[in-house]
Structure 1
């Protein structure tokens, strides 16, 4: 904080040259960050995508995690453990889960290297620093990190802000929600320098009992720019302490207390007050861009992401043998409090060389990164203190992952209307692990090499664009998949993605349709089967697919009314699938074969509609609707294991005031889920045979009924 304030003071002094004419920045195309070009699709690339501008992001940002800002883009479904969109949240694109969605921050990979998931709670309020976000659906053009396996989210914070700006954004709402953000942009000073900074504090008590979140973050970026070079350094940190709510609500409790949280209830009496996830993540990013001539530019970036934290649990009557401890006399178990730690470093580089002249665009580049993770567990308290040594660790396991990739992309204008696209990526992954918490004797040393080609054509004429593309993506299993016995090691997943689309864009009206067929080989899905070390695990399924159409339209009808909407209609199936369930009557497992069944948490219909009204000058009303059809909690199509379809309606009313001393003041009130629909956006299920009766138990993650946020944004 002290360092940030000193920077602001220094930059305020440095503004003495701000009013001078600077021809260096007349060409704003140079200000576009080259480092994101590798992963960002252009308007003529043959892929389905949605772009959110800085202004659009700002309108949607009320403090919720990034998935909720993207909620109304095509084919997106979001959820939140705590029910409010603050804390642990999730996102699916076309039914594809977060472990298969490639996320980059300024072109730098963000997905966790081992789990392949994305934990947006670790970068709270990153949207306030974002200058643009692109969501690609399907394989897309992503070139680095885990690779897109159904979708990509590319967040850019590196655009140059040429004018000085100070903003304070504050909001308060239901369930003890508060957000305060201070933003500072220096603009260009001393002809070449710029600094951007942000401080954020977000808190919420959560809709689910005790599911509170305490989130803090800062962001600071400094850049030097001249006619041929750009040098930028970013540093940002997120700190989160969230009470655990990832068990969900049992189906029985859902009818009586849909806010029930079983976390911490192992402790006798009142729930354990510190059953929390406590994690800090810090990012360092260094970029250098050089322009050799008007046609040739290069970029290289180095990054380091450091993370450390734990989740703490109260465990009742735990067997000492499970913690590698001997009995003490006749005592074989005790209540205890444990912390499961992760201390990890993720670092590497990305680079690219970009040529653009006449009818040809060429790009070559790649990346290399290394992940070092230390997983260990500590017991910090035991009810029977003599059973556990002080500062005791019952496991301490390391893992390493190396990821190297190289790509070449060629875009050629064949005619004034027709453009071809080719993209080839080679990626090598090596994963090493000396054991897991539950299976310490299993060590992993795997090496994979993947070849991912993409090809497409785009035809544009008279406000129309028509495109077709094919893309292939191969992805390695994640950490949990490897935690099996040697003879059940998983195979990589393969996706062949076929896309075609048509779009029309003229003046204040646009509409279009994307058609997709995503054919999977060896997709990893939960089957309910127990492996030979007694754990439920995902298995490779030979054949599955997603196919559908995405329709979208936007229209500014007049100066008072603008409308935007989208709908996705799809079929998502697994073929020749065998589901397993436990037989508690006779032991072992039973199985059922399905020739075809719906894929888990993949709704057949997703729709969104936004109506923006401007009834008076500087005043606005935004009405946003969302519909998600029925979703199954397993891959069997069991109607007793499903989320009901839901429809929600949000409304926002605001007013802007413009002045001289205060450039802009925006006041708003937003109602979320206006009609107080009781719905669940996520869940899980398991089935078993007991007493000769087939039983399915479901667990749900309820979302909050009607709740409200009021805020004020002040720009100096």
Structure 2
């Protein structure tokens, strides 16, 4: 069997020892295989990263057995001779053996044939970033990404934006199953703490990307796979401690293959922190369990994972003068908010770490259980099927203390005591979510065994989401006629979403390939009942009728072409259409004067150049080079953009703008010299504009020819320099820059987030003693230069004393210099 294995430089002194590096690919398609296991003399010694690359820092003198395994491919075994000179291995694995569980995931992933912009991360790439911070922070060095944390240190509620689009426009899937909340379109990763420890591979697609199950991508797609099948039994633990009393404890295990057919894998995790902001603690727990059966043509896998989170509410942020020290503006905040003397003293004392809330249980509490049943089935030599059933159960509430609230706004009558009428009371309420999300997905993949020029997929999904929203009073100083757990509003929502797609890549000529993809998606959405919103002009006794009926049918075509300029060099171009329905808050929390939410439409043009040289002598032996330049033009109709304000549970309010666009250039480069030093760098230069933007004020309406879209920086860059000065010791410097962002769409210098630069330092030291596989020590120092910056914020407008529109800004400060220490062990 031809494997494409080339072992270079095998001659040398028998007494010497030296490094061995290499790249593992699919022998038929040439695509890299991230997560392949590299065994030296039967001992797991490395695994491939997102580019299919691996490194053995030192191979002792003498003859050794090099074994390369990857589920779904034939195992490759080769003799290797240790020597002083660096060696390079290039191997192409042949499909075969047991089936991989990634049929659903692979069907939705981009490749060099799909003419789109994407980034792959393997298990190793994710692990070296993982000290316990949320997944967005592990993606901070990928192109066009901006991350932020409500509590300031990357644990708890975090958010990610790609090309200026928040996670409501980022399609996230886990093993091909939609993760985005069906109503809000958000992916609340706080509900899945330490998910990163169970990820086997991950792909970020920028732009519309390929057709996927779930909501349409309006900025990017994040495709996560946990379907790692490890043949050898293992046990691992990872523990971190750091600033703000942050703890992470993780235990993982796997049985390996039992009787050549069965596998069981599991994980338990706990993460807790006090948070950088005052009263912004998080207590997060999760588990992951997978049990699988596999034969030559069949794989069945049941996966369940769950997260329970309790976080102190930090979504209010910090008023601007608490950051700037502007005494006059701070006094204005104190007066407008009618703060008590104690609260006024507290905001002056706490400054940028100020928290508005003081009630000891002002918390967000949520439990989310996921269940997935996957089937991968080989259907003859040219076809395979991936299918899955899924159920997600979510239940939780926000608990809040409310001071001096009108009884009438909680559906309660006033209280008369003698000559006194009590109309207001202090109370504690809970706002509940109680939901089920279930459905099925499938992908039928075709690739002729004797013809790698054609690849095709037909897939689709049917999903239903049922969600009850309601509020209860659990305590009141004056309860009026209220009962225990007095319910003061209720509405239920149902959403049905089904889609079908077909896609194919065809290598027309040796150098020219084409790609086509079309998705048809139908959505039906309904809300019945009332929402508590006493400040809404439409409110009657504190509630607003939010009954809604909406139906949409979208057809989203995509097409692209690739041209091989030379070996390792490619030009590509693509066009894609994306359409997306409004989210719940677009219906229930419309700004005053807004006529109603409309569906968004996006025409996405992408084009670029890729250069890959995995083994050159440009900078010395075993130099790897990668470079990509990608141009994008995303032209929107009726884009829903943030207006800079939040509702009472921290959700950004949005409005449609008729015409807008995002266009820019993404440059990404990577160079590695003999695995001793590497540099990765990415920079995005963009324009994000609204055409003919109109802003209503209290005294007039004016037009701007163009306006910058809120939360859309024009320059984002990330750079990582990593060195290996000693065997097993890796040190990295990570530098991030984000240019100015505006809090709303007015392009007002009074409503902006200042540009910032952040420098982090990472150190990992690995040893392999005889009594266990590995011990690893790690150190992460965030914000080494101790910058005081904010990565997010919002603004409110109100009429001033002179009748002119005034604004007041709130920000989410990020932590000053802080650290995380980790100790890991593998058995």
Instruction: Give the TM-score taking structure 2 as reference length.
Output: 0.80
Greater mean alpha carbon deviation, residues 29-38 or residues 668-677 = 29-38
Distance 2:138 2:529 in 1: 38
Shift of 1:45: 1.6
Distance 2:97 2:223 in 1: 21
1:317 aligns with one of 404, 409, 417: 404
Closer, same or farther: CA 177–487 of 1 in aligned 2, 3 Å: closer
Contact 1:671–1:709 (Cα < 8 Å) also in 2: yes
Classify the secondary structure of the residue corresponding to 1:505: strand
Instruction: Give the TM-score taking structure 1 as reference length.
Output: 0.92
Contact 2:373–2:388 (Cα < 8 Å) also in 1: yes
Closer, same or farther: CA 656–353 of 1 in aligned 2, 3 Å: same
Classify the secondary structure of the residue corresponding to 1:247: coil
Distance 1:188 1:606 in 2: 45
- Matches of residues 446-525 of structure 1 in structure 2 within 5 Å? 446-460=550-564, 461-483=566-588, 488-507=595-614, 508-525=624-641
Deviations 1:335-388 (A, max 9, x none): 000000000000000011111111221211100000000001000000123453
Deviations 1:386-407 (A, max 9, x none): 4532221001211000000000
Classify the secondary structure of the residue corresponding to 1:30: coil
Greater mean alpha carbon deviation, residues 210-219 or residues 560-569 = 560-569
Greater mean alpha carbon deviation, residues 236-245 or residues 518-527 = 518-527
Contact 2:261–2:295 (Cα < 8 Å) also in 1: yes
1:575 aligns with 2:691: yes
Closer, same or farther: CA 28–561 of 1 in aligned 2, 3 Å: farther
Unaligned runs of 5+ residues in structure 1 are: 1-18, 265-270, 584-588
Classify the secondary structure of the residue corresponding to 1:175: helix
Give the aligned CA root-mean-square deviation in angstroms. 2.1
Shift of 1:440: 3.7
Distance 2:273 2:98 in 1: 41
Shift of 1:462: 1.0
- Matches of residues 373-452 of structure 1 in structure 2 within 5 Å? 373-386=467-480, 388-437=482-531, 438=533, 440-452=544-556
Q: Which residue of 2 aligns with 1:174?
A: 243
Classify the secondary structure of the residue corresponding to 1:309: strand
Contact 1:139–1:497 (Cα < 8 Å) also in 2: yes
- Matches of residues 11-30 of structure 1 in structure 2 within 5 Å? 26=75, 27=96, 30=99
Distance 1:241 1:529 in 2: 25
Deviations 1:10-43 (A, max 9, x none): xxxxxxxxx9x99996436832510112321123
Number of residues of Structure 1 aligned to a counterpart in Structure 2: 682
Classify the secondary structure of the residue corresponding to 2:415: coil
Deviations 1:252-302 (A, max 9, x none): 1123544444442xxxxxx21000000000000001111011210112100
Q: Which residue of 2 aligns with 1:306?
A: 393
Deviations 1:589-621 (A, max 9, x none): 643321101010100000111000111111111
1:704 aligns with 2:815: yes
1:598 aligns with one of 708, 715, 718: 708
1:289 aligns with 2:401: no
Classify the secondary structure of the residue corresponding to 2:190: helix
Contact 1:247–1:261 (Cα < 8 Å) also in 2: no
Greater mean alpha carbon deviation, residues 456-465 or residues 300-309 = 456-465
Q: Which residue of 1 aligns with 2:302?
A: 233
2:446 aligns with one of 331, 340, 355: 355
Structure with the greater alpha carbon radius of gyration: 2
Classify the secondary structure of the residue corresponding to 1:112: coil
Closer, same or farther: CA 23–599 of 1 in aligned 2, 3 Å: closer
- Matches of residues 216-255 of structure 1 in structure 2 within 5 Å? 216-255=285-324
Classify the secondary structure of the residue corresponding to 2:112: coil
Classify the secondary structure of the residue corresponding to 2:447: strand
Distance 1:654 1:197 in 2: 25
Shift of 1:539: 2.5
Unaligned runs of 5+ residues in structure 2 are: 1-66, 76-95, 326-349, 534-542, 615-623
1:331 aligns with 2:331: no
Deviations 1:396-451 (A, max 9, x none): 21100000000011211101221111000000000010034135423111110000
Classify the secondary structure of the residue corresponding to 1:57: helix
Contact 1:263–1:275 (Cα < 8 Å) also in 2: no
Distance 1:529 1:310 in 2: 22
Shift of 1:480: 0.5
Contact 1:435–1:444 (Cα < 8 Å) also in 2: no
Q: Which residue of 2 aligns with 1:267?
A: none
Deviations 1:143-194 (A, max 9, x none): 2100211200011001211111111000100001000000112111111011
Contact 1:24–1:227 (Cα < 8 Å) also in 2: no
Shift of 1:537: 5.3
Q: Which residue of 2 aligns with 1:46?
A: 115
Classify the secondary structure of the residue corresponding to 1:435: strand
Contact 1:436–1:483 (Cα < 8 Å) also in 2: no
Greater mean alpha carbon deviation, residues 286-295 or residues 421-430 = 286-295
Classify the secondary structure of the residue corresponding to 1:187: coil
Contact 1:527–1:579 (Cα < 8 Å) also in 2: no
Contact 1:626–1:649 (Cα < 8 Å) also in 2: yes
Greater mean alpha carbon deviation, residues 652-661 or residues 624-633 = 652-661
Distance 2:645 2:678 in 1: 51
Distance 2:283 2:72 in 1: 45
Distance 2:278 2:476 in 1: 26
2:177 aligns with one of 95, 104, 108: 108
Contact 1:57–1:127 (Cα < 8 Å) also in 2: yes
Closer, same or farther: CA 527–649 of 1 in aligned 2, 3 Å: closer
Contact 2:99–2:298 (Cα < 8 Å) also in 1: no
Classify the secondary structure of the residue corresponding to 1:35: helix
Closer, same or farther: CA 471–481 of 1 in aligned 2, 3 Å: same
Distance 1:36 1:260 in 2: 42
